[in-house]
Amino acid sequence: MRVARLSGAEAATGSGQEWWRGAVIYQVYPRSFQDSNGDGVGDLLGIVQRLPHIASLGVDAVWISPFFTSPMKDFGYDVADYRDVDPMFGTLADFDALVEAAHALGLRVMIDLVLSHTSDQHPWFAESRASRDNARANWYVWADPKADGTPPNNWLSIFGGSAWHWDPRRCQYYLHNFLSSQPDLNFHEPAVQEALLDVARFWLERGVDGFRLDTINFYFHDKELRDNPPLPPERRNSTIAPLVNPYNFQEHTYSKNRPENIEFLKRLRSLMEPFGAAAVGEVGDAQRGLEILGQYTAGDDLMQMCYAFELLSGARPTAARIAEIFSRVEEVAAEGWACWAYSNHDVERHASRWALSGPALRAFATLLMCLRGSACIYQGEELGLPQAELAFSDLQDPYGKEFWPEYKGRDGCRTPMVWDGAQRNGGFTTAARPWLPVAPEHLSRSVAAAEADPGALLHHYRRAIAFRRAHPALRSGALSQMAAEGPVLRFLREHRQERLFCAFNLGEEPADISMPAGRWVQIGAELNSAHAGADGIVRLGPWQACLARDIGHG
Element containing residue 11 per DSSP (H, E): none
pLDDT at 248 over 50: yes
Of these residues, 43, 112, 209, 282, which one is catalytic?
A: 282
Long-range contacts of 452-457 (CB under 8 A, 24+ apart): 456/383, 457/358, 457/361, 457/362, 457/365, 457/382, 457/383, 457/384
**Which pLDDT score is estimated for 234?**
82
More confident position, 47 or 408: 47
Residue 398: which pLDDT band, with cuts at 50, 70 and 90? confident
Residue 8: which pLDDT band, with cuts at 50, 70 and 90? very low
State the Cα–Cα distance between residues 76 and 172, nearest whole angstrom. 27
Residue 25 pairs with which residues in a beta bridge?
A: 61, 376
The model's pLDDT over 142-153, given as tens digits with 9 standing for 90+, comes to: 999 999 999 999
In the chain, CATH 2.60.40.1180 sits at: 477-550
Look at strands 164-167 and 172-175 and give their pairing. Answer: antiparallel
Active site residue 282: yes
pLDDT at 176 over 50: yes
The model's pLDDT over 507-546, given as tens digits with 9 standing for 90+, comes to: 999 999 999 999 999 999 999 999 998 899 999 999 999 9
Question: With respect to CATH, is domain 24-117+190-467 assigned 3.40.50.80?
Answer: no
The model's pLDDT over 414-463, given as tens digits with 9 standing for 90+, comes to: 999 999 999 999 999 999 999 999 999 999 999 999 999 999 999 999 99
**Which pLDDT score is estimated for 427?**
98
**Which pLDDT score is estimated for 7?**
46
* 43: CB partners within 8 A, 6+ apart: 30, 34, 35, 36, 37, 88, 89, 90, 94
State the Cα–Cα distance between residues 440 and 502, nearest whole angstrom. 37
**Which pLDDT score is estimated for 239?**
58
State the Cα–Cα distance between residues 311 and 5, nearest whole angstrom. 32
CATH class of this structure's domain 477-550? mainly beta
Peptide bond into 405 cis (omega under 30): yes
State the Cα–Cα distance between residues 122 and 434, nearest whole angstrom. 28
Of these residues, 214, 222, 381, 397, which one is catalytic?
A: 214
Look at strands 478-485 and 488-495 and give their pairing. Answer: antiparallel
What is the percentage of the chain residues whose pLDDT exceeds 90? 88
* 493: CB partners within 8 A, 6+ apart: 370, 372, 471, 473, 474, 477, 478, 479, 499, 500, 502
Residue 233: which pLDDT band, with cuts at 50, 70 and 90? confident
In the chain, CATH 3.20.20.80 sits at: 24-117+190-467
**Which pLDDT score is estimated for 240?**
54
Q: Shortest CA distance to 472 belongs to which of 500, 434, 431? A: 500
**Which pLDDT score is estimated for 152?**
98
**Euclidean distance between the first and the last CA atom of the chain, given in angstroms as a whole number:** 48
